[in-house]
Amino acid sequence: MSKKLREKLKNSVTKITLANDSEVQKNKIKMNKLLCILGHPEALVTDYSMIADFVLSDRKLKSIQKKLGFELKDNDFLIDVVKKMGPSYSGYYVRSAILTPEFDSLWLHHLKGML
């Protein structure tokens, strides 16, 4: 690769900075449960992630609302949804997500990080 091309590529790289995730980290167990319910246990989320970030049909949204027991709107932040779930939220719906390859991969990654 020529020096000129390398320099051009270097200058065209865009840096991505993630938004804060301190609230997500404080509520990570319930956030993981919510992500499983949404069908995306592998998702990278921040304090500013919203329901609208997950393209949901009206039917899927209604199904999720029924599982959670309260109404959701596209502009709801996930962290606010997690806080509505309350401290005694049942993990029943997480068990069905554990059987997916995505969850297996995420879980193994999590376990490796604990070692």
Query: Residue 67: pLDDT above 60?
Result: yes
Report the pLDDT value the prediction gives residue 107, as an integer from 0 to 100: 67
- How much is the average pLDDT of 19-48? 89
51 vs 101, residue with greater confidence: 51
Distance between CA atoms of residues 24 and 77, nearest Å? 11
Structure tokens at 81: 């949804």
Distance between CA atoms of residues 80 and 70, nearest Å? 12
- How much is the average pLDDT of 60-82? 91
Structure tokens at 89: 């939220």
Report the pLDDT value the prediction gives residue 87, as an integer from 0 to 100: 65
Query: Residue 50: pLDDT above 90?
Result: yes
Query: What type of residue is 42?
Result: E
- How much is the average pLDDT of 44-54? 93
Residue-wise pLDDT for 78-110, tens only, equals: 999 999 987 655 444 444 455 566 666 776 776
Structure tokens at 67: 């599982």
- Report if pTM > 0.75: no
CB atoms < 10 A from the CB of 88, how many? Answer: 5
Residue 12, CA atoms < 13 Å, CB-side half-sphere: 6
